Amino acid sequence: MADRESLRQSLEMARAVLNVLEQQAAGYTVLTIPAPLKIQLDEKRNEVASLEARLAQLEGRPPARLPDNLPRRPPIFVGRKEEIARCLTALSPEERGWGVVIDGIGGIGKTALALEVAHIARERAWFDAYLFVSAKTTHLTPDGIREETLALTSLDAFTRRFARLLGEAEVERMSDAVERSRALLDALRGRRALLIWDNLETLPPEERDRIAEFLRKLPAPNKAVVTSRRRTGESALTVRLDRLSEEEAFQLMDEVGRRQPRVAEELARAGDETRRALYDAAGGNPLALHWTLGLVAHKGYSLEKALVRLRDAARSGDLYRFLFAAAARDLGENDRAVLSALAAFQAPASPEALADVLQKAHTEVQSGLERLVALSLVNDLAGGRYGLHPLTRTYVRAALRAEVEEVPLAPAAHRKALRFWVDYAQKYGGDDKDAYRTFDKLEEKWPNLEAAAAALREASGLPGPLRDEEAARMLVDLARALRIFLWFRGYWDEGVRLATWAYEAAAARQAWRDAGWRAYDVAWIHYQRAETERAAAWAARCAEVWERGGSRRDRAVA
């Protein structure tokens, strides 16, 4: 009510000023009217039209003219309350910047958030025009990636579209792109339009620079919302979208289930544990969640089978290409090395640790990290550390195995990082009588050591045919270095898993003595747990491989 009364008062004042200006202009012809007076007159007419349109929205009347091509709200939108509030604050006239940039990894919900914010602004009658343009070049559909043939590719294409939507035919017909851009800015003076620029990461750098310059000159109180996978945005608030919370992701799953009975049945059958596994694998990415549930709804997958598919970047190429291919093509040699090394860190890593792993200068690593953050491939986290989104990690590991078609990464850098963790375990682990004194070092880095073991097993090809003997040997070395630490700290499940993997790796290499001792480790843990059948089975394996290649002492132990 207060907003409506305030608008009425502003409209009365603007009409009064316009009346005075029109009386002054009445003494001139079109050719003799002074330029400053003409500019004031045009701006005030725009302001009156803007206030009339906004007041009509609030009063529920159809405005005489309200340029509006907003797409419909997404059918499912969950969470993002804090981000919505920040965006709305940036769009208020009290804020001096031109608006807000929403950035983040592909599929994280940037366009959905922009549209939600725009629709809220329209409900509140904040603007006299709501204009949406997109540079999106591809769409992910259940049948694959579809090319968008009508995507806009330059600032000039955007200004033409805006001019057409605003009814500025003369601006649209101009032949000079620079003049058209200036004329559009002039036409916006006195107005209060909301301009939404979607998916600007697809544009060439020079066009992004031109758009940035245009936005810096955008006359207040017009505002803009930009979405991009690349970090940018001078003179504007930047909102970087991160994963949905687990609660929000579960809410999204339930909303999909309400629309798709097959999904609802699978969610009910699978239970919260599988839901949580889906959330973790998707990293709270809304597009990945929708895509995975789409396999259930449209292709008849069980939730477990769809989850396996999501975790396999090679079999889910359309999804991962849609999310990462464009950014991967822009990576330089240093960027690829830093990204490949970071994939060996499960916990967030510092630039110093990465520089140590890669044996590069700190400045070189920092530069690579900044570019990867700008491309939304790496997250900059609290405490000056950097981490990977789960989907990015899945993609990078597949790229390191050459299972995806895009630009190859840097396997040598990734191997260096894995070697670093094996050396770390050997330095602070082992079975020396004083080794326990440094177990805190292993505890501190356990997530990274555990991830290194999984990566080495994956690289070696196990449990299938051996494809990387060095990785298999490193896995055995890592298990040997950590065995007492895992026993000492009571990590028995982890100890069984790591010793089993190392047994497989040693057996694949026909390193029978190592295989026997790793089987011995598994048997011993089962024995201590009073799991006699499992203990006996692993003791038999231990004896079997030592018959093939163990020493006399080994066979006696068996």
Which residue in 460, 476, 472, 458 sits closest to 518, CA to CA?
476
How far CA 411 is from CA of 208, 216, 226, in Å, comes to 32, 42, 35
Evaluate whether 98 touches 215 at the Cβ level (below 8 Å).
yes
In whole angstroms, give the CA distance from residue 151 to residue 232.
21
In whole angstroms, give the CA distance from residue 54 to residue 471.
66
For 463, other C-beta atoms within 10 Å of its C-beta total 11
Mention every residue, 6+ apart, whose C-beta is less than 8 A from residue 273: none
Degrees to nearest 5, angle at CA 242 with 236 and 248: 125
Is 247 exposed, middle or buried, given 0-12, 13-18 or 19+ CB atoms closer than 10 A?
A: exposed
Evaluate whether 186 touches 38 at the Cβ level (below 8 Å).
no
In whole angstroms, give the CA distance from residue 376 to residue 322.
14
Evaluate whether 201 touches 172 at the Cβ level (below 8 Å).
no
For 75, other C-beta atoms within 10 Å of its C-beta total 8
In whole angstroms, give the CA distance from residue 454 to residue 291.
26
**Rounded mean pLDDT for each run of 10 residues along the chain, 558 residues in total:** 69 76 77 79 74 71 76 93 95 89 93 96 89 89 75 88 93 93 91 93 91 93 92 78 95 96 95 95 95 94 95 90 87 94 93 94 94 90 92 91 77 94 95 90 94 93 93 97 94 96 96 94 94 95 85 64
pLDDT of residue 1: 44
For 408, other C-beta atoms within 10 Å of its C-beta total 14
pLDDT of residue 553: 67
- Helices 286-299 and 261-282 cross at an angle (nearest 10°) of 140
Q: Give the residue ranges of DSSP H helices in 128-193.
A: 155-166, 169-173, 177-188
365 is written with which tokens?
Answer: 């690593």
Upper half-sphere CA count for residue 531 (Cβ side, 13 Å): 14
Sign of CA dihedral 150, 156, 162, 163: negative
Task: Tell how strand 237-240 and strand 99-103 pair up.
Answer: parallel
Its pTM surpasses 0.75? yes
Radius of gyration for the alpha carbons in the chain, expressed in angstroms and rounded: 31
125 is written with which tokens?
Answer: 């009658």
Bond from prior residue into 463 cis (ω within 30 degrees of 0): yes
Please give the backbone phi and psi of residue 481, each rounded to the nearest 5 degrees, phi first. -70, -25
Please give, one letter per residue, the 3-state secondary structure of 266-331: HHHHHHHHHHHHHHHHHCCCHHHHHHHHHHHHHHCCCHHHHHHHHCCCCCCHHHHHHHHHHHHHCC
Which residue in 555, 534, 557, 556 sits closest to 545, CA to CA?
555
532 is written with which tokens?
Answer: 């006699």
217 is written with which tokens?
Answer: 């000159």
Q: Give the residue ranges of DSSP H helices in 124-221.
A: 155-166, 169-173, 177-188, 205-216
Which residue in 46, 57, 39, 56 sits closest to 15, CA to CA?
46
Query: What are the domain boundaries of the chain?
Result: 1-59, 81-240, 246-311, 445-557
Does domain 81-240 fall into CATH 3.90.1300.10? no
